[in-house]
Chain A
Amino acid sequence: MELIQTVFEVFLRTYPGFLEATLTTLKITAVALVLGTVLGLIFALMKISRSKILQTIANLYITIIRGTPLIVQIMFLYFGITSLIVLSGFWAGAIALGIHNGAYIAEIFRGAIQGIDKGQREASSSLGMTRSQSMRRIVFPQALKRSIPPLGNQFIITLKDSSLVYIISVPELFAMANREAAQSFQSLETYLVVGAYYLVLVMIFTYLLKLYENKLNVDK
């Protein structure tokens, strides 16, 4: 009983700062998702292209990014390439998350595109469409619809993974929680509260995703 009360007290004391930090978390996640989706699409198309060079570049990207820890990629962008370019914590974190996501999203798109029945491509070719017309008008719209559940999954992972940018002092939710826990010595309560923030965010996102999926399935 006492725990519930202290958790509530911590919540009340921290929410002005935590809400602001939540906004930063959401901003980083949004940038990472947009960047990740764009990169994912580009590399998926490269991977299924007929050019060996493009295929190799895409494979290299996916292998390296999936094969190294996200936290290493964040540190690399923030501290590793300062001789090349100096990024703020926010941008280093968001771009690292975006590049990281791109590799996974590329595989989601590639799988969905290749999963479309080859009869669809044959039918569009037989009507005189070029490869790119067929991809744009026939194959990709269907693949996109099939990508939505795994993309949603990836988006949730990104939201939670954004907590890793605390390591480069971006004032997002987890960084704020760490600071609060260290100052107040109320670690148990603080981490319970911050966990609840992430849980609620994920639940809201899952709900929105479900609405969107239902909308897509209305008449098909």
Chain B
Amino acid sequence: MLKGSNIHKSFGDLEVLKGIDLEVAPSEVVVLVGVSGSGKSTLLRCFNFLERINKGTIEIDGQVIDPKKHKLSEIRAEVGMVFQHFNLFPHMTVLENVIEAPIIVKKMKKADAIVLGKQLLEKVGLSDKADVYPSKLSGGQKQRVAIARSLAMEPKVLLFDEPTSALDPELVGEVLAVMQQLAQEGMTMVVVTHEMKFAKEVADRVIMLDEGRIIESADPATFFENPSHERTKQFIQLVD
């Protein structure tokens, strides 16, 4: 579904990703963990072409994506992204946020988009908020709208960049619940998070990044109970 091979990414002299190989199967939920600065967010942003990779290839559905040849807007429409700070459009209502891209990008009819938008808002439990502006929502509600907005494009893969890190602790659960539901419905997901409980319960695979390399990749049970790398052990102790 999504495959990165030998991904290198530098910012100036700083090499953030030093050759990442990662393949995500359809319906797989991959959780990326690592200390800050390990490159996990950068990797996610590369998968969505918000950052251009310096070396390596990215394949989506078996097709190698060349940013020079392909229209990035078309590729991005297939790879959804949920951001730490939500990035909702403040000048639009909740429903308008959700239906904007289907109408503008996919040229969907407005009436159809509204039906889709309302379905998605119901799915994330926010039907009653359709006509309010994002500033009136709590952080957890905003993030759920952002998830609905991404889903409206019917992406093949959904990337989550620390989706609960900006939330008050009591609001984390409602967002994770929506993500868990998506995972159960078979959505392919790559999630950067510090929520180890989510990693343990929902992930098919947990991957540890350290200084721009993958040092551990295992199913959650093995990852948390029997990690092979010393740095992974330290990390698990640190977050527990």
Contact = CB atoms under 8 A, between A and B. Distances in A.
Contact of B87 (A120, A133, A219): A120
A195 interface: no
Interface in B39-92: 48, 50, 72-74, 76-81, 83, 85, 87-91
Given A137-B100, A137-B104, A220-B135, A125 B89 contact: no
Contacts of B85: 119
Contacts of A125: 50, 72-73, 76
B90 A142 contact: yes
A69 interface: no
A149 B101 CA distance: 30
Given A138-B89, A142-B91, A128 B83 contact: no
Nearest to A118: B87
Q: Chain B contact residues (Cβ within 8 angstroms of A): what range? A: 20 to 34
B47 to A, nearest CB: 11
Nearest to B48: A126
A118 to B, nearest CB: 9
B154 to A, nearest CB: 11
Interface string A147-179: 000000000000000000000000000000000
Nearest to B133: A220
A28 B73 CA distance: 44
B214 interface: no
Q: Chain A contact residues (Cβ within 8 angstroms of B): what range? A: 20 to 34
Secondary structure at the A interface, as helix, strand, loop or mixed, is helix
Interface in B194-221: none
Given A119-B87, A142-B90, A127 B105 contact: yes
Contacts of A142: 89-91
Interface string A206-220: 000000000000011
A86 B113 CA distance: 55
Given A127-B150, A129-B101, A130-B73, 16 more contacts: A119-B85, A123-B89, A124-B101, A125-B73, A125-B76, A126-B79, A126-B81, A127-B76, A127-B77, A128-B77, A128-B105, A129-B105, A133-B104, A137-B100, A142-B89, A219-B133
Interface of A: 117, 119-120, 122-130, 133, 137-138, 141-142, 145, 219-220
